[in-house]
């Protein structure tokens, strides 16, 4: 950011007195001071929010515009969480449920966390998969996806369209506020993208598909519907992630083994559950031996996830174990 740009930001901070509004101004209008635009932005923040709240000031999200890397559709709205506006609790499979921090209102951010291109239905909860715009250098940032993945996705537009219910208009269907049905469809489109990545051996592709499936399972469960199919999909994708050693961080791999243990326990496959718990136990034994010779080695991380898996196994007959 140049000296002039920094000066503009400082003046905006004085005039707007809100960091989120400053960032929004710079995204929309760029580093140029215009009192009319400043006044308009201040006025807009008191318009009713999309979910009927008090107005934008209490909305824990804000919008940015993205460009599709597959079809080049521009001005696609992506929703981001404002700093310190939402907290989350995790279900048994580590999928988040969100709660607002005062003075923000409650929203289920998972409903619209996946950004969907209304033209070609490319979808992802990670804005870096899209083409973003950098205000600081006034230029576009390319998608983090490889050209090979993007080319393959261009060939599969009709496949993605077949995932929508009936003749739904994509722009309206995925608009905000978004229904649970639309949120599930958005995650299915994201899974489609991840599976294309997996077919080209893109790192973490199976893991992403599995975690997206867990989001669908949570939607189904909270709607009073069966989550069995989504959980089976998650178990399939995440077991492939483990077999392909996608996670390079030991702590993340311990976490993955816990999720797999929980999934197979929930699906009634105690043998598979204990198999993954056994891997955690084996790693704990190996780390315990290493710790005798190296005081820097710790079993704390593997202990955490092994204990959580053992707790589920102990409570496996509790009727409401999987409702939380």
Beta-carbon contacts of 87 under 8 Å, excluding residues fewer than 6 positions away, are: 98, 99, 101
**Overall average pLDDT of the 153-157 stretch:** 97
Give residue 101's domain range.
52-211
Q: Are 262 and 312 in contact (CB under 8 A)?
A: yes
**Residue 176 maps to a domain:** yes
Are 207 and 62 within one domain? Answer: yes
**Residue 218 maps to a domain:** no
Are 105 and 82 within one domain? Answer: yes
- Please give the Cα distance from 231 to 242 (Å, whole number): 16
Asked if pLDDT for residue 17 goes beyond 70, the answer is no
**Residue 31 maps to a domain:** yes
**Overall average pLDDT of the 48-65 stretch:** 65
Q: Is 292 helix (H, G, I), strand (E, B) or coil?
A: helix
46-50, 67-71, 228-232, 276-280 — which is least confidently predicted? 46-50
DSSP one-letter code for 80 = E
DSSP state letters, 50-73: TTSSS-GGG-SEEEEEEB-TTT--
30-39, 175-184, 275-284, 296-305 — which is least confidently predicted? 30-39
Q: Which residue has the higher pLDDT, 6 or 322?
A: 322
Give the end of a domain, one of 160, 182, 211. 211
**Overall average pLDDT of the 130-140 stretch:** 81
Are 115 and 12 within one domain? Answer: no
The tokens for 214 are: 């867990």
Are 56 and 40 within one domain? Answer: no
Are 178 and 76 within one domain? Answer: yes
**Reported pTM:** 0.82
6-20, 138-152, 282-296 — which is least confidently predicted? 6-20
DSSP one-letter code for 161 = H
CA atoms in the 13 A half-sphere facing the CB of 243: 8
- Please give the Cα distance from 123 to 71 (Å, whole number): 12
Q: CA-CA-CA-CA torsion for 310, 231, 228, 164, nearest 10 degrees?
A: 160
Give the end of a domain, one of 149, 176, 211. 211
Tell me the pLDDT tens digit for each residue of 106-118. 989 999 999 999 9
- Please give the Cα distance from 24 to 40 (Å, whole number): 12
User: By C-alpha distance, which of 187, 194, 155, 67 is closest to 118?
Assistant: 67
**Residue 93 maps to a domain:** yes
Q: Which residue has the higher pLDDT, 84 or 10?
A: 84
**Residue 278 maps to a domain:** no
The helix or strand, by DSSP H or E, that contains position 272, with its residue range, turns out to be helix 270-293
Q: Are 260 and 235 in contact (CB under 8 A)?
A: yes
User: By C-alpha distance, which of 95, 81, 80, 87 is closest to 211?
Assistant: 95
Are 74 and 35 within one domain? Answer: no
Are 21 and 71 within one domain? Answer: no
Are 163 and 190 within one domain? Answer: yes
- CA pseudo-torsion sign 258, 260, 263, 264: negative
**Residue 298 maps to a domain:** no
43-47, 153-157, 186-190, 257-261 — which is least confidently predicted? 43-47
Percent of the chain, pLDDT > 70?
Answer: 91
**Residue 74 maps to a domain:** yes
Are 100 and 169 within one domain? Answer: yes
Domains contained in the chain, number: 2
**Residue 264 maps to a domain:** no
Are 204 and 77 within one domain? Answer: yes
DSSP one-letter code for 130 = S
Are 92 and 197 within one domain? Answer: yes
- Please give the Cα distance from 293 to 280 (Å, whole number): 21
């Amino acid at each position: 950011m140049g000296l002039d740009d920094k000066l503009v930001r400082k003046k905006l901070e004085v005039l707007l007195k809100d960091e989120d509004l400053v960032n929004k101004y710079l995204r929309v209008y760029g580093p140029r001071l215009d009192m009319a635009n400043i006044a308009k932005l201040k006025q807009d923040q008191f318009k009713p929010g999309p979910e009927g709240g008090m107005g934008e000031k209490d909305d824990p999200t804000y919008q940015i515009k993205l460009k599709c890397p597959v079809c080049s559709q521009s001005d696609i709205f992506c929703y981001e969480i404002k700093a310190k506006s939402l907290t989350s609790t995790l279900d048994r499979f580590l999928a988040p449920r969100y709660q607002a921090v005062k003075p923000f209102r409650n929203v289920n951010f998972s409903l619209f966390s996946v950004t969907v291109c209304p033209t070609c239905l490319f979808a992802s909860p990670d804005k870096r998969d899209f083409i973003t715009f950098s205000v600081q250098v006034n230029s576009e940032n390319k998608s983090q996806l490889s050209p090979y993945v993007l080319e393959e996705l261009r060939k599969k537009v009709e496949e993605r369209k077949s995932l929508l219910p009936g003749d739904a208009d994509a722009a309206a269907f995925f608009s905000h506020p978004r229904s649970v049905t639309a949120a599930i469809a958005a995650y299915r489109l994201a899974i489609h993208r991840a599976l294309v990545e997996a077919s080209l051996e893109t790192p973490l592709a199976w893991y992403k598909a599995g975690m997206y499936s867990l989001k669908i399972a949570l939607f189904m469960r909270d709607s009073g519907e069966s989550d069995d199919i989504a959980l089976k999909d998650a178990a399939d994708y995440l077991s492939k992630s483990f077999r392909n050693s996608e996670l390079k961080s030991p702590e993340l791999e311990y976490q993955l083994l816990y999720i797999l243990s929980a999934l197979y326990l929930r699906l009634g496959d105690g043998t598979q559950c204990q198999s993954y718990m056994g891997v955690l136990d084996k790693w704990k034994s190996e780390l315990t031996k290493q710790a005798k010779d190296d005081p820097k080695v710790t079993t704390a991380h593997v202990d955490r996830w092994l204990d959580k898996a053992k707790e589920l196994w102990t409570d496996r007959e509790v009727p409401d174990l999987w409702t939380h």
